[in-house]
Amino acid sequence: MTDTAWIDAALTSARPQAVGALLRYFRDLDTAEEAFQNACLRALKSWPQNGPPRDPAAWLIMAGRNVGIDEVRRHRKQEPLPEDEAISDLDDAEDALAERLDGSHYRDDILRLLFICCHPDLPGTQQIALALRIVSGLTVKQIARAFLVTEAAMEQRITRAKARVADAGVAFETPGAVERIERLSVVAAMIYLIFNEGYSASGDTFEARAPLCEEAIRLARLLLRLFQSEPEIMGLTALLLLQHARSAARFDADGALVLLDDQDRSLWNQKMIAEGLALIDKAMRHRQSGPYQVQAAIAALHARAEKPEDTDWTQIDLLYGALEIMQPSPVVTLNRAVAVSKVRGAQAALEMIEPLGPRLSNYFHFFGVRGAFLMQLDRNEEARVAFDRAIALANTSAEAAHIRMHLDRLMRDSAPPGTKASKK
Amino acid sequence: MLYAILCYHDEDLVGSWTREQDAAVMQKLAVVQDKLAKQGRLGPVARLLPTTSATTLRKEDPPLVLDGPYAETKEQLLGFYVVDCKNLDEALDVARDLGAANPGGAYEIRPVGVLNPGSVSA
């Protein structure tokens, strides 16, 4: 690995802690970010010559504080700052000082930094963009590429989001236990959103959007490192790992979506699956179930099945039942119906989703699933109508192509015997 | 003499490597390992999953199970090698070779007292 690549990785990994600490000192997002940028510039000059510091985050925090000293003066609560030259010293005294400055706070610093990106006034897409910019340190260009918008549009989106966060003000006092748990759950939801943004990509855009999945996993692991005994954060991390483990098998060479049953399971990433399963094991010990754990457990049952027919659909049906109680939603019921169709047949599954019609009348998957059930029951004309509706609602070309495949099969199957050869 | 080479590194940092960076490091390490294997000096090698997947059992009475790794340190135990070396100097040479392939962090070199190679397959 070249020096610059190593330094890039070090700056990326130190970023949440360093920006979080600088935000606490400066109490202003722009100042904190600017101070961090300046500290990075100094690191790029100093580290190749003096060697990497033992604790890059502490180094960057002190360098950032020094660079922004004028800003600090305008704020209350100053702590004596180290001499400028001290920054390039790498001895343990410096480490100890940084530790004293930050050790007790850094957990809440990082959580706060993530939390301010989740301001309730911000729409989900703005929350994600802001978090990717501020916490992950992706460039506007990288984020724009992942969201498939122009750089200018993304720049504007982030600027707006920042302005709104600045207006709203941020609580800087150390949060109490209850508030900390509330923040944690809001942040977990945002990380899940980042992942889904990447996961919902189609074959032709997956390459561009996959980094979102990886970044979400990195943030989830970071959160779990800070809150090691939170079963829902274990569940979230496990869920993301188990989903992402399948990514190499989700699209065929033409970029068409490959459903779970048809995926080449040898392409699944066994290391990610092992980590996901280990985290679920750990979470279960706490006996405090939650939506992320249940969803991770469902993903685990799929991951454990070596062949599609080994899948424990009965257990999946039960888990979706539990999820329906925790988080009632027509989409959860729709997912449960797929498990029900495997266990009790398409008729029972169809009856289960009929009441969802009015609420899911604009939902692609509802019509795709309904069409599939109807097709299994040989109600081909109704199936065709459902599939037509699904195509009209498809979000990506891959989704539409998948439904068209069903339609083609219906056409073939419904052709009277002996006429198939003449039909194209 | 068998030596264990325990690999400590900043886990967040290793986790921030791109897939390409990670693969490049693994490839370079494989070269060092191949050399040792050809000389018949390479014992078990392990790369551990992240410390977030770790659980600690404290042997109190009754034993206490805690989430997370045993030690909260700046660098975490991320894996280990067992290598056959004549003496410490030779073990340090191996560690230097590994370190050149995977910069950053530290190796702790510890002579092995008892090694039961076990019978599980990878």
- Weakly modelled stretches of chain B, pLDDT under 50: none
DSSP at B87: S
Q: Is residue B113 less than 8 Å (CB to CB) from chain A?
A: no
State the total domains in chain A.
4
Q: Which residue from A335, A329, A330, A232 is spatially nearest to A290, judged by alpha carbons?
A: A232
Residues A120 and A223 in one domain: yes
Q: By residue range, what is the domain housing residue A395?
A: 312-414
Whose tokens are 């942040």? That residue is A187
Q: Is residue A307 part of a domain?
A: no
Which ipTM did the prediction report? Answer: 0.89
- Neighbour-count burial of A123, counting CB atoms closer than 10 A to its CB (0-12 exposed, 13-18 middle, 19+ buried): exposed
Interface of A to B at Cβ within 8 Å reads 1, 5-6, 9-10, 12-14, 52, 54-56, 214, 218, 221-222, 224-225, 228-229, 234, 237, 271, 274-275, 278-279, 282, 285
Q: CA of B20: which chain A residue's CA is closest?
A: A1
Q: Is residue A423 part of a domain?
A: no
Whose tokens are 């099969």? That residue is A409
Residues A366 and A341 in one domain: yes
Last residue of a domain, one of A104, A122, A145: A104
- Neighbour-count burial of A424, counting CB atoms closer than 10 A to its CB (0-12 exposed, 13-18 middle, 19+ buried): exposed
Residues A337 and A364 in one domain: yes
Q: Is residue A317 part of a domain?
A: yes
Q: Is residue A305 part of a domain?
A: no
Q: For residue B9, list its beta bridge partners.
A: B76
Min Cα distance A12 → chain B (Å) is 7
Taking only Cα atoms into account, the Rg of chain A, rounded to an integer number of angstroms, comes to: 25
Residues A212 and A254 in one domain: no
Last residue of a domain, one of A299, A326, A341: A299
pLDDT along chain A (424 residues), means of 10: 75 91 87 92 90 86 81 54 47 50 70 87 88 90 86 93 82 78 89 89 76 92 92 98 94 85 94 96 95 97 94 96 95 95 96 93 93 94 94 85 88 63 42
Q: Is residue A388 part of a domain?
A: yes
Last residue of a domain, one of A260, A278, A299: A299
pLDDT in tens, A45-96: 998 888 778 888 899 999 998 877 655 565 545 555 555 544 444 444 455 5
Q: CA of B69: which chain A residue's CA is closest?
A: A228
Q: CA of A51: which chain B residue's CA is closest?
A: B104
Q: Is residue B52 part of a domain?
A: no
Q: Which residue from A414, A408, A357 is spatially nearest to A387, judged by alpha carbons?
A: A408
Residue A228: which of B13, B68, B74 has the nearest Cβ? B68
pLDDT in tens, A149-193: 899 999 999 999 988 888 877 677 777 888 888 889 999 999 998
Q: Is residue B43 part of a domain?
A: yes
Which CATH number fits the domain that encloses residue B92?
A: 3.30.70.1060
Min Cα distance A307 → chain B (Å) is 22
**Number of DSSP helices (H) and strands (E) in chain A, helices first:** 20, 0
Backbone φ and ψ for A405, nearest 5 degrees, come out as -60, -45
Q: Is residue A187 part of a domain?
A: yes
Residues A171 and A240 in one domain: no
Backbone φ and ψ for A83, nearest 5 degrees, come out as -60, 155
Residue B25: which of A1, A13, A237 has the nearest Cβ? A1
Q: By residue range, what is the domain housing residue B104?
A: 2-47+74-111
State the total domains in chain B.
1
Residue among B14, B52, B57 with most chain A CBs within 10 A, to mutate? B52
Q: Is residue B117 part of a domain?
A: no
